[in-house]
Structure 1
Amino acid sequence: MSLRTQLSDILPSLLPNNPAEAIKGTELIRLVRLQLTGNYSDASLRYHFSIMSCDPASPIAKVEKGQGYYRRSAPVPALSGAQELLSLSQGRLDDLNSDRGAVDHALERVKKFRAIVRRFNELNGRFPFEFREAFSAGSPLGNLWKYPEVAVVDWQTGDDPDEGMSLDSKMLAMKQRLGLPPFRLSGARLRIQSTLHSYREDFFQALSGSMWTQGGELIYAAPIEDGALADGLRALNATFGVGVISYGLSIEVLDDLPRAANILNAHPKETEALMERIDFNRIAAPRYRQHIDWSLLDTLRRDSSETTKLIEWLASCIEKGRAEPLAD
């Protein structure tokens, strides 16, 4: 097995998620040697750390200013990433194919926005579940219409602050007797910006991917300033019920934000500053259904291990009587 292959297997368990806790190269070499097969020099290991940290597909990333390495945040899933690039380039991918740097820059914006959406939901007492395997390379294009990029769970929790995120036992019991889910499950489609030529596709993908949930949302990073575009989205919402949200984060603001890993691991004061940059605007409110489409969910469960993971997570929270975030 090559050194790079070994490092790709070993490094994820050794590297910290938080760039602020980056591990120095000397210490990383010491830890790697405990699991490495073969006799490699320190210089060879440092060289591979440096080369791999420049590869967006590798598990290791180097801090931008300073020393040390951390675990790279998950890449943008292939299908949703390709569709976002297609939208950003107005359908002319040839414009980007000749400039790999532009592609990486555009995908970094997507990663930042996904991180912002995740943190925003968590801070507002909602529990996100990200679908990734469904949009991985080699997955059928139909998955763009079959799964949401993010499923969001709203639990009914108790009013006592001392109980934290404990579920409201009385409400839980009542909903179980009525055959209602003890949570509200919605599906969301994430996009950087809306345009007159792409908003219908965005909307109907959000609708289609959330049919098995209790409601759907289409979430844009950039502000929606075109009146005709906003009216078109509201007209679709009036008929089909998918909510539309803008976080008011322009391309320039996204480029100015720290990397996704820094957003996800920011300290409370840093997170507060990041959230202040959001100019939240609800273009149209979602309409929720009382029931989940269990037959459709069961079909998806047989097609996707991620759906099984979602169900097991929800069942675990109910069994424990606590609303808990999904462990990475």
Structure 2
Amino acid sequence: MSLRNQLSDLLPTLLPSNPADAIKGTELIRLVRLQLTGNYSDASLRYHFSIMSCDPASPIAKVEKGQGYYRRTAPVPALSGAQELVSLSQGRLDDLGGDSKAIDHALERVKKFRAIVRRFNELNSRFPFEFRNVFTAGSPLGNLWKYPEMILVDWQTGEENDEAMVLESRMLSLKQRLGLPPFRLTGARLRIQASLHGFREDFFQALSASTWTQGAELIYAAPILDEALADGLRALNAAFGVGVSSFGLDVEALDDLPRAANILNAHPKETEALLERLQFERIAAPRHRQHIEWGAMEALRRESEETASLIDWLCECIDEGKARPFPGA
């Protein structure tokens, strides 16, 4: 049996599943040698560890920041959107085998994560707008490539106060004369966990769904600990500019959070305590364009009442001279 085949059989029993308990290469070599058939050099073993850690089908993964290896586990079943929105008929929850309790549990995690992302951005002076209806049962599967789960609005001409952001009239007027929007729209795609099997689909959905905005973000709940996975995301970011970040919340941490409604309605001290659980990490920064693709936005406005609501809300903020949260959010 080849060395690689032997390692594929041995490593799952030797490697820890938790990256925090990763085994250093020297110790892993010692453990492997006790069961290997054949005489292989340390250099050969290290080479195979390194090569296999870049293969999504192999059982070994390398820690993203630090040293050591851990067992690559199967990813959490992928949900199409970050909402309670994708119908079973669209075939996106098949991995859960029709188990209604498992589906409800998975979707509850998704709702919690969406609520955390919303509160995090609100406290960082970004105004979220959520798309919902375009992902409901019966909606075209292609909507996953046309609409982000969330639009994050950064007003470029404003000063904060307790109630709203006051838009500076002279800067607002100048930007309007120059044909520049007084805000920056970033389309956000939300996902629970990244995997080597699916990160490209996540990334290009985020890119495709945000071609009409000024930038795109791919936001994961779980930490990205696999070095090969992080490198792959950074390589795509370098080519296409989609930002990638993690909130450091694995599925166990999400399960420990209160329900989404409680997160959204928490008092300031409760919200502060919730956000202290986050370990936000920027994997790759987004690149933003100056201009919005107005033609594409107008096409979506004709298709979707939610896009029309987004435009109406932005216009009302400009007319009133104050940037406020989306009504009913």
Structure-1-length-normalised TM-score: 0.72
Does the CA-based 8 Å contact 1:80-1:144 persist in structure 2? Answer: no
Residue 150 of structure 1 aligns with an amino acid whose one-letter code is M
1:252 maps to which residue?
Answer: 252
Paired position in structure 2 for 1:282: 282
How many pairs align?
A: 247
Query: What secondary structure, in the 3-state scheme, does the structure 2 residue paired with 1:166 have?
Result: strand
Aligned to 1:210: 210
> In the aligned structure 1, how far is the partner of 2:164 from the partner of 2:131?
27
2:86 paired residue among 61, 66, 78:
78
**Secondary structure, counterpart of 1:151 in structure 2:** strand
Name the residue aligned to 2:69: none
Q: Secondary structure at the match of 2:322?
A: coil
1:293 and 1:319 map into 2 onto residues whose CA distance is: 22
Q: What is the deviation of 1:75?
A: 6.4
Paired position in structure 2 for 1:16 = none
The correspondence of residues 219-234 of structure 1 with structure 2, limited to 5 A, is: 219-234=219-234
Aligned to 1:120: 120
CA apart distance, 1:257: 0.2
**1:279 to partner: Cα distance:** 0.5
| Structure 1, gaps ≥5 residues long | 1-73, 87-92
Structure-1 residue corresponding to 2:308: 308
Q: Kindly provide the CA deviation profile for residues 110-138 of structure 1, in whole angstroms up to 9, marking residues without a partner as x.
A: 00000001111111110011001111111
Which whole-Å deviations, capped at 9, do the CAs of 1:40-95 have from their partners, x for residues lacking one? xxxxxxxxxxxxxxxxxxxxxxxxxxxxxxxxxx9611259978x64xxxxxx254
Aligned identity (percent) is: 70
Contact 1:186/1:214, CA 8 A, preserved across alignment: yes
Residue 165 of structure 1, CA deviation: 1.1
Asked if the contact 2:222/2:246 (under 8 Å) is kept, the reply is: yes
Q: CA deviation at 1:170?
A: 2.0
Report the Cα offset of residue 96 of structure 1: 3.1
What residue identity is the alignment partner of 1:146?
A: K
Instruction: For 2:106, give the aligned amino acid.
Output: A
Given that residues 132 and 149 in structure 1 are in contact (C-alpha distance below 8 angstroms), is that contact kept between their aligned partners in structure 2? yes
Greater share of residues in helix: 1
* Residue in structure 1 matched with residue 97 of structure 2 by the alignment: 96
After TM superposition, the score normalised by the length of structure 2 is 0.72
| Residues 140 and 158 of structure 1: CA distance in aligned 2, closer, same or farther (over 3 Å) | closer
Q: Say if 2:142 is the partner of 1:142.
A: yes
1:234/1:271 CA distance change after superposition, 3 Å:
same
Distance 1:238 1:194, change over 3 A: same
Point out the structure with max Rg over C-alpha: 2
User: Structure 2: 5+ residue runs without aligned partners?
Assistant: 1-81
CA distance in 2, matches of 1:276, 1:293: 37
Q: Tell me the amino acid that sits aligned with residue 101 of structure 1.
A: K
Q: Report the CA distance shift for 1:123/1:82 in structure 2 as closer, same or farther (over 3 A).
A: farther
Please report the RMSD computed on the Cα atoms of aligned residues, expressed in angstroms. 2.0
- Rounded to whole Å, the distance in 2 between the matches of 1:80 and 1:316 is 37
1:179 alignment counterpart: 179
Q: Which residue of 2 aligns with 1:268?
A: 268
